[in-house]
Amino acid sequence: MERARFALFWWAYVVVLALAAAMVIWGARLAATGRGSAILVAGCLAVLVVLAAGLVVLGIHGLSVRLCERMERQFAPVNERLEQISVLLNTVTEQQLISERAKAIAFRDREREALRRAIREEITRKDWDAALALAGEMERVFGYQQEADQLRAEIQSHRDRETRRLVSEAMANIERFCGMEQWTFAMREAERVMKMFPGDELASGLAQHVELRRQQHKRNLIDRWNQAVASHDIDGSIEVLKKLDLYLTPQEAQAFQDTARQVFKDKLSQLGQQFTQAVREHRWQDAVRLGQQIMTEFPNSRMAQEVRERIDLLHERASAAQPAPAAGVGS
């Protein structure tokens, strides 16, 4: 850049010098014709001034070149050191960027691991919705869709196992209630589990299962009733009928009325015969017991009325029939 400027200066200098020389030549011609020498003198002065200026410029330029070379030599170590510092700063900057990236990656890894631990804790607490929400964060924040899908599958697996366990426990309770014929408690347990797991197929069928068990038990009671009636098992028939009465609707009960009425007549007749036999054989305590049973189970019957009329006398005779306590040794 400096050389280009210096070359441009010399081109201008040559032009000015040529103009001054031309002025000298023109002045010399005029002086030769006797028209004056002022122009010649002016031209000579111009040539001298231009030459002097050229010498001055050459001196200044040489001095400038020497000063620049000297400064370059003096500042060469400084420039070299500055270049080294620049390289070092670039290296430090690159390392800092790498360090920041490494920190970001390490922090990201720690966040992912913390999120995994949080998901495990929610699984341990059996808070499935919270665990699924955190798995969604794994995909949304970190972009790990595959890992998020794996976590969702793992959460669902734990959830299904826990559901199976709770439903199995509930079914065991339901079976226990059904075995004790406590259908209300069994149905409540079934409804409770259905509310806990509304989407579970097995849980949703528990209420129907309880009703099927109840209907099956009802059919078994009807079969036992028919067998007892067919075998003229009066006590067995009454025992089954008392249980069956809890399962029959009013419409269903009508079909059993005639047979049940006959069974109770047979029972009353049986008690009457046993009562009469006990009185005839002077088994007063048995007579009192049978009389009490007749009055309790058939209070509106004619036989119960007859027993009431004689019960006081039977109590007296039963008391009189009891053996007197043995006398003491010292009496």
Mean of the per-residue pLDDT values of the chain: 81
CA distance 61 to 10: 12
CA distance 172 to 260: 36
Residue 12: band (very low, low, confident or very high) from pLDDT cuts 50, 70, 90: confident
Q: Is there a contact between 1 and 68 (Cβ–Cβ < 8 Å)?
A: no
If one compares 34 and 281, the residue with the highest pLDDT of the two is: 281
Task: Please state the rounded mean pLDDT for residues 166-176.
Answer: 91
Q: Does the pLDDT value for residue 254 go beyond 50?
A: yes
Task: Please state the rounded mean pLDDT for residues 208-227.
Answer: 92
Tokens at 281, concatenated: 């054989």
Q: Is there a contact between 191 and 173 (Cβ–Cβ < 8 Å)?
A: no
Place of tokens 């959460």: 155
Please provide the DSSP assignment of 188-226 as one string.
Answer: HHHHHHHHH-TT-HHHHTHHHHHHHHHHHHHHHHHHHHH
Say what the pTM is. Answer: 0.53
Which residue spans within the chain are E strands per DSSP? none
pLDDT at 310: 87
Pick the CATH number of 260-319 from 1.10.3210, 3.30.70, 1.20.58, 2.60.40: 1.20.58
If one compares 155 and 104, the residue with the highest pLDDT of the two is: 155
CA 203 to chain centre: 21
- Give the closest residue to 37 by CA, choosing from 49, 46, 27: 27
Tokens at 193, concatenated: 């589990």
- Give the closest residue to 252 by CA, choosing from 139, 260, 213, 3: 260
Residue 329: band (very low, low, confident or very high) from pLDDT cuts 50, 70, 90: very low
Tokens at 9, concatenated: 């200066």
pLDDT at 192: 92
Residue 187: band (very low, low, confident or very high) from pLDDT cuts 50, 70, 90: very high
Condensed to tens digits (0 to 9), the pLDDT of residues 16-51 reads 777 767 766 766 766 677 665 676 677 677 777 777
If one compares 256 and 144, the residue with the highest pLDDT of the two is: 256
CA distance 134 to 290: 75
pLDDT at 197: 85
Task: Please state the rounded mean pLDDT for residues 169-186.
Answer: 92
Q: How far apart are the first and last CA of the chain?
A: 157
If one compares 292 and 81, the residue with the highest pLDDT of the two is: 292
If one compares 111 and 3, the residue with the highest pLDDT of the two is: 111
Pick the range with the lowest mean pLDDT from 16-30, 178-192, 262-276: 16-30
Q: Is there a contact between 193 and 167 (Cβ–Cβ < 8 Å)?
A: yes
Pick the range with the lowest mean pLDDT from 51-65, 121-135, 243-257, 261-275: 51-65
pLDDT at 157: 92
Q: Is there a contact between 241 and 253 (Cβ–Cβ < 8 Å)?
A: no
Condensed to tens digits (0 to 9), the pLDDT of residues 49-107 reads 777 777 777 777 777 777 777 777 777 777 777 777 777 777 666 666 545 554 555 56
Condensed to tens digits (0 to 9), the pLDDT of residues 109-131 reads 788 888 888 988 988 988 888 98
CA distance 183 to 166: 20
User: Exposed e or buried b for every residue in 236-273, given b needs 16+ CB within 10 A?
Assistant: bbbebbeebeebbeeeeeeebeeebeebbeebbeebbe
Task: Please state the rounded mean pLDDT for residues 290-306.
Answer: 89
Query: Phi and psi of 140, rounded to 5°?
Result: -75, -45
pLDDT at 28: 73
- Give the closest residue to 13 by CA, choosing from 50, 58, 46, 65: 50
CA 321 to chain centre: 80
pLDDT at 297: 87
Residue 188: exposed, middle, or buried by beta-carbon count in 10 A (0-12, 13-18, 19+)?
A: middle
Instruction: Domain ranges for the chain, please list them.
Output: 1-69, 260-319
Give me the helices (H) in the chain, please.
2-32, 38-124, 128-142, 145-179, 183-196, 201-204, 206-230, 234-244, 250-254, 257-280, 284-297, 302-321
